[in-house]
């Protein structure tokens, strides 16, 4: 084996440019696969962190009738917040539909009442503590853009209370927050919880309660259903799975191109070097030894490619992880948590896994054409003839 390695290395280095072309293509596979997976992992981590911090906390108690995908359920899904959850570890949220009239236009929004003093969610709700004649409103950038509102702008809000009576009030935008989580932003007006309870005539009521991450062993409460992080992140998890599949298709294509280059090199090599193969056999190498030599030679492309990839890939990937990748504005409308800059995250598992995957593929693809050597007639091969 050591002899084969030594000879294969000599042959590879001796082959010069031909080797380095294959190695460079293969090294790009390593770098692109690691970069793409690192990008997805960075996005995954960032989006999960932001969603947990700004929307779902350590889990949520939902009113039994609450369905976030059916706004008609909002009318039925409210009840007094359970006394057992009245602590600083929970943030009750009351949700209602409303209509706003910015610059004479009419637009539907969702009012979300939240305690300005809450510390469960990383939202700047303290801005809602402002007292005045107007109902203070906290908006995300998407909602502000959609309603064409800026900080200080006033807008009429109309809603129906618990008894079905319409009412209206002037609201003032107190702060516009920059958030990556579209569900706390798009079409959502955050208002002080007590103001909303009073407007809807739903004292002490909530639609859902967010608990913080220190909250353990959620008790079972009648009329409320506990949704854990896994459930609340289910959509995102499925979306990430889909993203991983589509990125896997892309890097499979890239890897296939690189492997095709190796396969092609091997086939060509065996054809072009049949005289050499015959000579090796004449000099006393077994056919198995020649097959092993050519397989190792092919596989060594993968090893050299690791070195080359490390040479330019490591600084490139570190730089990318440092500066991140700016996302275009259009992704704001994707309906999923995407930061304006995504910082790729590379793990040891990702790097080692990619190297092993590519090495295994290269070794297999290097071996396949060498089986032809076993059928080669050495007396023909020595004279460079095909048999």
Binding site residues, other proteins, CB under 8 A: 3, 6-7, 10-11, 13-15, 275-276, 278-279, 281-289, 378-379, 382-384
Coil/strand/helix, residue 207? coil
215, 89 Cβ separation under 8 angstroms: yes
- What's the min distance (Å) between Cβ of 379 and other proteins? 5
Report the alpha-carbon distance of residue 14 to residue 372 in Å, rounded.
23
Coil/strand/helix, residue 222? coil
- Other beta carbons within 10 angstroms of residue 260's beta carbon come to 12
Q: What is the sign, positive or negative, of the torsion defined by CA atoms of 346, 347, 348, 350? A: negative
The residue among 113 and 278 lying less far from other proteins, judged by its C-beta, is 278
The residue among 3 and 253 lying less far from other proteins, judged by its C-beta, is 3
Q: Using the 8-state DSSP alphabet, how is residue 330 labeled?
A: G
- What's the min distance (Å) between Cβ of 286 and other proteins? 4
123, 110 Cβ separation under 8 angstroms: no
The residue among 116 and 278 lying less far from other proteins, judged by its C-beta, is 278
The residue among 10 and 150 lying less far from other proteins, judged by its C-beta, is 10
- What's the min distance (Å) between Cβ of 6 and other proteins? 7
HSE at residue 227, side-chain half, CA atoms within 13 A, is: 19
The residue among 16 and 152 lying less far from other proteins, judged by its C-beta, is 16
The residue among 347 and 387 lying less far from other proteins, judged by its C-beta, is 387
The residue among 48 and 275 lying less far from other proteins, judged by its C-beta, is 275
Residue bearing tokens 């993968």 = 302
Coil/strand/helix, residue 54? helix
The residues with which 156 forms a beta bridge, in sequence order, are: 170
- What's the min distance (Å) between Cβ of 5 and other proteins? 12
Nearest to 44 by CA among 282, 209, 307, 241: 241
Q: Using the 8-state DSSP alphabet, how is residue 55 labeled?
A: I
- What's the min distance (Å) between Cβ of 300 and other proteins? 14
Report the alpha-carbon distance of residue 58 to residue 120 in Å, rounded.
9
- What's the min distance (Å) between Cβ of 282 and other proteins? 5
- What's the min distance (Å) between Cβ of 260 and other proteins? 24
């Amino acid at each position: 084996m050591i002899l084969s390695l030594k000879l294969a290395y000599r042959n590879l280095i001796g082959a010069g440019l031909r080797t380095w072309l294959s190695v460079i293509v293969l090294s790009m596979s390593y770098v692109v696969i690691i970069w793409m997976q690192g990008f997805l992992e960075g996005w995954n981590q960032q989006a999960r962190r932001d969603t947990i911090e700004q929307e779902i906390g350590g889990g949520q108690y939902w009113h039994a009738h609450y369905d976030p995908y059916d706004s008609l359920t909002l009318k039925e899904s409210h009840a007094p917040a359970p006394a057992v959850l009245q602590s600083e570890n929970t943030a009750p949220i009351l949700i209602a539909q409303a209509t706003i009239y910015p610059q004479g236009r009419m637009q539907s929004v969702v009012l979300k009442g939240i305690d300005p003093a809450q510390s469960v969610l990383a939202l700047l709700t303290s801005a809602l503590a402002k007292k005045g004649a107007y109902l203070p409103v906290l908006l995300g950038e998407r909602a502000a853009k959609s309603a064409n509102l800026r900080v200080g702008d006033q807008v009429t809000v109309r809603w129906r209370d618990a008894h079905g009576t319409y009412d209206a009030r002037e609201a003032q935008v107190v702060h516009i927050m920059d958030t990556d989580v579209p569900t706390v932003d798009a079409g959502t007006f955050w208002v002080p919880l007590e103001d909303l309870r009073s407007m809807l005539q739903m004292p002490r009521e909530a639609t859902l309660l967010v608990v913080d991450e220190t909250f353990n062993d959620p008790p079972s409460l009648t009329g409320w259903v506990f949704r854990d992080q896994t459930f609340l992140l289910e959509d995102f998890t499925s979306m990430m799975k889909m993203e991983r599949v589509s990125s896997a298709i892309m890097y499979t294509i890239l890897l296939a191109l690189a492997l095709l280059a190796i396969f092609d090199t091997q086939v060509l090599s065996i054809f072009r070097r049949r005289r050499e193969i015959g000579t090796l056999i004449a000099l006393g190498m077994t056919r198995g030894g020649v097959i092993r030599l050519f397989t190792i030679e092919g596989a060594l492309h993968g090893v050299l490619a690791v070195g080359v990839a490390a040479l330019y890939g490591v600084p490139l990937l570190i730089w990318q992880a440092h500066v991140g990748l700016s996302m275009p504005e259009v992704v704001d409308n994707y309906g999923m948590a995407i930061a304006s800059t995504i910082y790729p995250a590379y793990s040891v598992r990702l790097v080692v896994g990619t190297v092993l995957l590519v090495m295994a593929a290269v070794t297999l693809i290097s071996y396949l054409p060498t089986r032809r050597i076993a059928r080669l007639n050495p007396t023909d091969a020595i004279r460079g003839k095909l048999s």
